[in-house]
Structures are given as structure tokens and as C-alpha cells.
Amino acid sequence: MSEMIDQQDLAAQFGEKPEKPEKPWQATARMFYTNKAAVFGLIGFLIVILLGLFGPIIFGADPFDIAGKPLMEPQDANPLGTDYLGRDILSGVIYGARPTMIIAITATVCATVIGISIGAIAGFYGGKIDNFLMRFTEFFQVLPSLVFAMVIVAVFEPSFLIVVLAIGTTTWTPLARLARAEFLKIKEREFVLAARALGAQNIRLILRVILPNALPPLIIAITLRVGTTIIFEAALSFLGLTDPSIMTWGRMIGLSRDYFFEAWWTVTFPGLAILFTALFIALIGDGLNDAFNPKLRRR
């Protein structure tokens, strides 16, 4: 929180911000909580997270254990049916929350770190550094991210680390562009110029002065990226580029592909899990968008 106070002090000193007595983050939070759809999304998302954290403990059964005959329809013992090896789909969906979210979040963090570092440095320093870094970014934009990730995963092995790295290294470019645009805009603002005049170091300017002010649009983008990453991982799984030892929802769909006509439950339920989780995230993203930009609200 210290950086917040930092920039608010500075901003207050020069009369730019805040306009309201209420702290901006509190205002944003208030806006967010009055948005029913956003709160619904947040609750839904928290349920998924809780499922990921505690589901395995409460539920007990290992999703890799054989629970019955292969490809059994939903019935009492297996409410969502079984897969081609006889594993319980329900326990797969519950257990799947954790690895799915871990992969999505780790890969997003990976993309965020690369993207924001490059975008921030490019936007802050400008000139040749900016030029070079943007060329570097464009290089990663030439190949569609899924195609690029396919190549990486197929060249190496589809392990957790490779999948995360492949998603991270192929999806950071939009975040870099966004961060750069924000930094370009904010670095010319008076409170930044003032901080610079007061002798603040570049690293301090980047991390403590500009970044906090650039956060709102980045937070929205990062939130939405988590959802996109879940789907991205599922797409890789669909193409067979998945680690069978990790019970993600994407893996459940990807490896059951051959059976979906005669056993619709094998792909439908994990797909719904992905759909709802991504939907919750989208609602949160929408809510954040509205909360950060109250003037732009149209609904």
C-alpha cells in the first residue's frame, strides 16, 4: 500500500488527484460491489478457487482411480459418468479446478511479468530502447500465439513447465503494448515530472510512481487473461499437447475426444466447468472495467 500513499501524496500536492475525499481504490471497490453481475462473477470465481483448494480434501477420492466401468452414463455411483478408463468425471471436474487454475494463473503471471517489464521499460525510456523492445514484441506477434505454442510444446515434452512457459512466452505481447501505452501517457503527467524533479531514481519512478497509476487497465487485462489462458490450455490439450498426469479440464476434453459421440458426458461437463469459470472471470473483468471507468458506464 505504501506506493499508493506515495503517489497520492504527490498527486495531492499538485492538485491532480484525488478529486474525492474517498480513496480511489475504495471508490472502485464500492462501484464494483454495486454491480450485481460482477459480484455474481466474483462469488462464482471464489467458489471455483475454494473448490480447487478444498475440493480434494472434502471429496477424498483420487480422480485417477478407477471408479467403475469405462464410459458409463451418469448414474448414482458416478453422477457425471465415467471416462474411457473408468475414472469418475465428477471427481475429475472437482479435482480439475486446482491444476487448471494453477496452470492458468502461473502462465498468466509469467506473461504478465514479461509483458509489463518490457512494456514499462519501453514506455518509460522511449527512444531507441522503446524502438528495440517494440520490434522484439512485434517479432512475437508474427506467429499466432496458439500456433507458436503448438510448436514449442511439440518440440519439447508436454509437461507442466513447458505448457506454462509456452503459454507465457506466446501471450505476453498485448500486455506489453498496453503497459507501454499507459507508461507513455502517464510519464508526462505533472506528478511524475515533479517526482523526477525531486530526484527520484528511474527504478522508483517506474515501480512506485507510474506503475500504480497504470494498474487499472492492466488489472482488467490480466484478469481477462486468466480466463483466456484456461481456454488456451484446453485448446492445446484438444490438439493432444497435454500432460496426461495432470487432471486439467482441458485434458479431460482433449483425451476423451474420440468418445464424445457415444459418451457426451466425457466432454460436456469439463467443458461446462471451463465455460463457467471463464464466464465468472469475464464478469469480474467487466465489473472492474466499469468500476475503474465510472464515466464510461453505458448500462
Partner 1 sequence: MALKKTFFKIMILVTALVFLSVTGTFADGPKRGGTMVYVTPKIPSLNPMHGSFIAGTVATQIFAGLTRLNEKDEVVPYLAKSWSFSDGGKTITFKLAENATFHDGKPITSEDVAFSIGIVLKNHRFGKQMFGPIEEMDTSDPHTLILHLSKPHGPLLVAATSPRHLPIMPKHVYGVGDFNKNPAHKNPVGSGPFTITDKKLDEYIIMDRNKNHFDGERPYLDRVIGRVVLDKTSVRVGLEKNQFQMADAGGQIRYRDITDFEKISHLKVTELKTPNGGGTYLELNNRKEFFKNKKVRQALAYAIDRDYLADVLHDGRSKASVGPIPFSNLFFDNKLKGYPLDIEKANQLLDEAGYPKKENGIRFEFKVAYIAPPFAPDDQLIIGEHIGTSLKKVGIKVIQQPLPRSSWSAKMKNWDYDSALPRVGDKVDPAVGVGRLYRCDNIKHQPYTNTSGYCNEKVDELFIKAALEPDQGKRMAIYSEVQKLLLDEIPMIWLKDSVYWRFHHKELWIPKYGHTEFFDEMYWKTAQN
Partner 2 sequence: MATALFQRIIYGMVLILAVIVLNFLLIQAAPGDVVDVLVTEAGGGDPEIAAQIRASYGLDQPVYVQLAKYLGNMLTGDLGYSYYRDESVLELLLSHLPSTLILTLSALLFAIFIGTMLGIYAATRPQGVTNHMVTIFSLLGYATPVFWMGMMLMLVFSLYIPIFPSFGFRSIPAPETMLPRILDILHHLVLPTFTLSILFLAGYSRLSRASMLDVLGADYIRTARSKGLSEFVVIFKHALKNASLPVVTIAGLQLGQIFSGAVIVETLFSLPGIGPLLYDSITNHDYPVMMGVLFGTAVTVVVANILTDLVYRLLDPRIRGIS
Task: Please say whether the beta carbons of 208 and 192 come within 8 A.
Answer: no
Least distance in Å: CB of 104 to partner 1? 21
State the alpha helices, DSSP H only, in the chain: 2-13, 24-34, 36-59, 89-125, 127-142, 145-155, 160-171, 173-186, 190-197, 202-204, 211-238, 249-255, 265-292
How many whole angstroms separate alpha carbon 247 and alpha carbon 93?
Answer: 9
70 interface partner picked from partner 1, partner 2, none, CB below 5 to 8 A per type: partner 1
Q: Look at residues 218, 210, 283, 227 and name the one whose alpha carbon lies nearest to residue 42.
A: 283
In the block, cell 471427481 appears at 91
Closest to partner 2 by CB, 4 vs 239, is 239
Least distance in Å: CB of 62 to partner 1? 8
Least distance in Å: CB of 148 to partner 2? 8
109 interface partner picked from partner 1, partner 2, none, CB below 5 to 8 A per type: none
How many whole angstroms separate alpha carbon 126 and alpha carbon 123?
Answer: 5
Residues at the interface with partner 2 (CB under 8 A): 135, 138-139, 141-147, 150-152, 154-156, 224, 227-228, 231, 234-235, 238-240, 250, 253, 257, 260-261, 264, 267-268, 271, 274-279, 281-283, 286, 298-299
235 interface partner picked from partner 2, partner 1, none, CB below 5 to 8 A per type: partner 2
- The grid coordinates of residue 147 equal 500456433
Closest to partner 2 by CB, 210 vs 253, is 253
Residues at the interface with partner 1 (CB under 8 A): 64-66, 69-71, 84-86, 154, 157-158, 240-241, 243-245, 255, 257-258, 261-262
Positive or negative, the Cα torsion across 297, 105, 204, 185?
negative
Closest to partner 1 by CB, 19 vs 262, is 262
Rg (CA), the chain: 22
How many whole angstroms separate alpha carbon 21 and alpha carbon 3?
Answer: 18
134 interface partner picked from partner 1, partner 2, none, CB below 5 to 8 A per type: none
Closest to partner 2 by CB, 211 vs 283, is 283
275 interface partner picked from partner 2, partner 1, none, CB below 5 to 8 A per type: partner 2
Closest to partner 2 by CB, 28 vs 229, is 229
